[in-house]
Amino acid sequence: MVNEASLETFYKIVDQNQDDYVERLREAVAIPSISSIVGHRDDVVRMSHWLTSLFEKLGIKYEARDIGSHVMDNVDLKLPPIILGTYGNDPNKKTILVYGHYDVQPALLEDGWSSKPFDMIETSKGQLIGRGASDDKGPIIGWLNAIEAHQNAEIDFPVNLKICFEGMEENGSEGLEELIANEADKYFKGVDAVCISDNYWLGVTKPCLTYGLRGICAYKVTICGPGKDLHSGVFGGTVHEPMTDLFHLFSKLVAPNGDILITGINDDVAPLTDEENKVYQSLEFSLNELHSAIESKTNIYDNEIETLQHRWRYPSLTIHGIEGAFSSSGFKTVLPAKVIGKFSIRIVPNMDPKRVNELVEKFLKDEFAKLGSKNTLSIECLHSAKAWLSSPHHWNYVAASKAVERIFKCKPDLTREGGSIPVTLTFQDALNKNVLLLPMGRGDDGAHSINEKLDRSNYIQGIKLFGAYLHEIASCKAE
């Protein structure tokens, strides 16, 4: 049973200290820990020190794991450490692993920000605007604030917490997968469930729990013709042009209405069950929100349910671009010699990446053969990740759902997402434990855009939510 009085005290402390929490976030935002820019690597490391200072202050045992170096833009760079933390070690309590990241996306005032991106401001509407406020500094500091609030309130912390904060999430999570695999039976031993706060509410008013993500199979298709780029005037009409072949080939992949045309690709898609279908009926989502997100009315489906189903539970295929062709503004009479088309398929349960690769390869080869071209084709799968689907009936989700009801007085939406968050699957596969995505921010936070923000209410209520979730975890029965 949750100790209601303790929770109420915790909420009160959080409310009382909210300005301090905002200042703490401001301090963190001020460190431009951009992991994808060489010149900011020191800032990422500085951000790790900022965090471990806080760990020390809060009495969280930690290790800042050196995960080696990598080459970026021809520079050999030390990777920022992965911070592993342990708070509590009571064999009578459950152990929850929380993951987040302390690096951020690049941001420049010139990109169109309305204020300096690393100088967090609060608007009159209570929006905390600054790079990383929502992705992912607000959430990771949220966990630490929740710990501190328990200390301030002198309430027993309801679970043992394991912490995994990385500094390379916005740059491919270099080194993370290996560390998780290595530590599954060591540092992460005894973890009962995982909670990741690194995504968003579907809309702007209703909290959600996220229980599924699409996977991805990304491809690079190379068509080689002449040994060098040619002048289109001199050679046009006399040689098989790789661009012509590529346009024919890729036009066969997907219909303008989004249907994937690769033979057999849709056969394994999990059928829509009645239970799943029910989830879609009450979600906080409207086509208006979609229109505002895509800044147009070019949606394929004229209703919310089909739109979300095609975002979350059906595969899609996007052609991203061509490497090797003319891509600048202006005009150039070039006949490109070698072009590399790139596309990816978002895969869903029960599609298997290996099977998808086989189908893609066979289809492209068959279609290319039909073109009768003397050019050559090669296909490479750049990377692939399975879809991820959890059960919202698991105690980890039930606890989170109850916590949402406590803080927001409503049941959370049960959502999935169209993109992938690779660490989700990594944790699930390595630890063989349930993973929950418990977002703090809203759907319009603009994580990778200009004017990234976190609403003060989401931040403060989020801290309460994290605390309440851990209390619910403590009181629920783990089967």
- Which residues belong to the annotated binding site? 101, 135, 170, 198, 231, 333, 346, 420, 448
Q: Is residue 266 a contact partner of residue 317, using CB atoms and an 8 Å limit?
A: no
Q: Which residues are annotated as a binding site for Mn(2+)?
A: 101, 135, 170, 198, 448
Residue (7 or 243) nearer to a copy of itself, CB: 243
Return the amino acid letter for 323.
Answer: E
Residue (14 or 339) nearer to a copy of itself, CB: 339
* Least distance (Å) between residue 269 CB and a copy of itself: 12
CA dist 164 and 188 (Å) reads 9
* Least distance (Å) between residue 451 CB and a copy of itself: 13
Active-site residue, from 43, 136, 166, 169: 169
Residues 210, 80, 160, 460: what is their CA dihedral angle, to the nearest 10 degrees?
-60
* Least distance (Å) between residue 317 CB and a copy of itself: 7
Q: Which residues are annotated as a binding site for substrate?
A: 198, 231, 333, 346, 420, 448
* Least distance (Å) between residue 250 CB and a copy of itself: 5
Biggest CA-to-CA distance, the chain: 83
Residue 300 main-chain phi, psi, to 5 deg: -75, -45
Residues 445, 449, 451, 457: what is their CA dihedral angle, to the nearest 10 degrees?
10
Annotated catalytic residue 169? yes
CA dist 151 and 106 (Å) reads 35
Residue (306 or 405) nearer to a copy of itself, CB: 306
* Least distance (Å) between residue 175 CB and a copy of itself: 19
Residue 373 main-chain phi, psi, to 5 deg: -95, 150
* Least distance (Å) between residue 339 CB and a copy of itself: 8
Distance, first Cα to last Cα, the chain: 16
* Least distance (Å) between residue 87 CB and a copy of itself: 33
CA dist 66 and 80 (Å) reads 7
Residue 279 main-chain phi, psi, to 5 deg: -55, -35
Active-site residue, from 103, 166, 174, 413: 103
Residue (38 or 300) nearer to a copy of itself, CB: 300
Residue (347 or 463) nearer to a copy of itself, CB: 347
Residue (232 or 428) nearer to a copy of itself, CB: 232
Residue (385 or 474) nearer to a copy of itself, CB: 385
Q: Which two tokens stand for residue 172?
A: 């491919």
| Helical packing angle, 422-431 and 176-183, nearest 10° | 20
C-alpha closest to that of 473 among 88, 173, 133: 88
CA dist 311 and 329 (Å) reads 32
What are the E-state strand segments in 119-192?
121-122, 127-129, 160-166
Q: Which residues of 405-415 are buried (b: 16+ CB within 10 A; e: fewer)?
A: ebbeeeebbbb
Say whether the peptide bond before residue 92 is cis (omega within 30 degrees of 0).
no
Annotated catalytic residue 103? yes
**Full DSSP string of 458-474:** HHHHHHHHHHHHHHHHH
3-state secondary structure 208-222: EEEEEECEEEEEEEE
CA dist 361 and 192 (Å) reads 40
Catalytic residues: 103, 169
